[in-house]
Amino acid sequence: MFDFFKTKKWAVWAYLGSAVILTSLWLSVQIDVQINHWFGGFYDMIQKALGTPNAITASEYWGSLASFGKLAALWIVLGLATSFLTAHFLFRWRASMVEWYHSVYDKARTIEGAAQRVQEDTIKFSRIMESLGTALIESVMVLVEFFPLLVGLSIGIPILWFGDWEYGLIAGALIWAVGGTILMIVLAWILRLVGIEYDLQKKEAAYRKILVVAEDDGSIRPKSLEELFDGVRKIHYKSYLRYLYFNIGRLAYLQANVLAGYIFLAPAIIAGVMTLGVMQQILRAFGRVEGSLQYLFKAWPTIIELASVYKRLREFEAKIKEMK
């Protein structure tokens, strides 16, 4: 599965491609930091304009919006470039996997679900990694850039439970994000979501295989097909119920998450010790740090699916190697 990074044939895409994608992500984060600075100045200008008539000029207002437009345009271009390069990078990763499967397919085809592993699971692996991999890297970069920014903005600002401690907002974001992540991990473990996803794919593979066989074998009766589909039906119903319980906790937390920044800033807002621009900068920086810390939480359903795909592909490769 990871021969993509080990063979000379794919070295350019594996390493140069990774470097270009990482650089593009880093530049996007730098622009995001600049946008955060823009929010502070813009909302301070709005506060000034609303507090004192004619305190700002039309050129100042439109000039500020134009500055945002330039930053946003750069961010969009980099985002599109990153997405395009990542898609090509991961298709080549998939191609390296499929190339090896093809070389051993004379033996591999006897393994149950071989066609699904080679075609469907490699597609799923590359598509999930496309969204999951870049999001993880970007989350780390955002933490590196916004962590000191949030600390600097928090100096002299009273934070709920932490007072004037300069790391109060960081601690609050960490407690909130880690608490939510632990909640999701515990729920997923109790509900056996990875196991359910794995069992579901196995049932679907068995049903698909007998349908293919039935095309050429007239001895397979409708009753046999119905029995297999009954197993598919039951595992899907079980999956729906388990994910219902999981999403109750997940969605409740995400809704409460909207107010987290305002809750921690309550003493400062009530005391009126900061401007509207500073509050917007802090809230946005807090949201970016918290969002990065919540990466596992927000991506948990996708991580479960990836873990299931990875488990199936590893088992498939292990069976192939046992046959050699």
Residue 307 pLDDT exceeds 90:
no
Average confidence score pLDDT of the chain:
83
91 backbone φψ class: left, alpha, beta (φ>0; ψ -120 to 50): alpha
Residue 38 pLDDT exceeds 90:
yes
* pLDDT, position 78: 93
What's the pLDDT tens digit per position in 277-298? Answer: 888 998 888 888 888 877 766 6
Where would I find the H helices in the chain? Answer: 11, 17-51, 58-103, 105-108, 114-116, 122-154, 168-191, 193-214, 222-257, 260-264, 266-271, 276-293, 295-298, 300-323
Residue 171 pLDDT exceeds 80:
yes
Q: What is the share, in percent, of the chain residues with pLDDT greater than 90?
A: 16
Residue 131 pLDDT exceeds 80:
no
Mean pLDDT of 256-285: 87
Q: How far is residue 320's CA from residue 110's CA, in Å, rounded to a whole number? A: 10
The answer to whether residues 81 and 24 touch, using CB atoms and an 8 Å cutoff, is: yes
What's the pLDDT tens digit per position in 145-169? Answer: 888 888 888 888 888 888 888 788 8
Q: Which residues pair with 159 in a beta bridge?
A: 163
**CA of 190: how far to CAs of 183, 197, 245, in Å?**
11, 14, 10
Of the listed ranges 47-51, 79-83, 201-205, 208-212, the least confidently predicted one is 208-212
The answer to whether residues 305 and 120 touch, using CB atoms and an 8 Å cutoff, is: no
End-to-end distance of the chain based on CA atoms, in angstroms?
17
* pLDDT, position 2: 65
- DSSP character at residue 161: T
What are the structural domains of the chain?
3-323 (1.20.1560.10)
* pLDDT, position 290: 82
Residue 121 pLDDT exceeds 90:
no
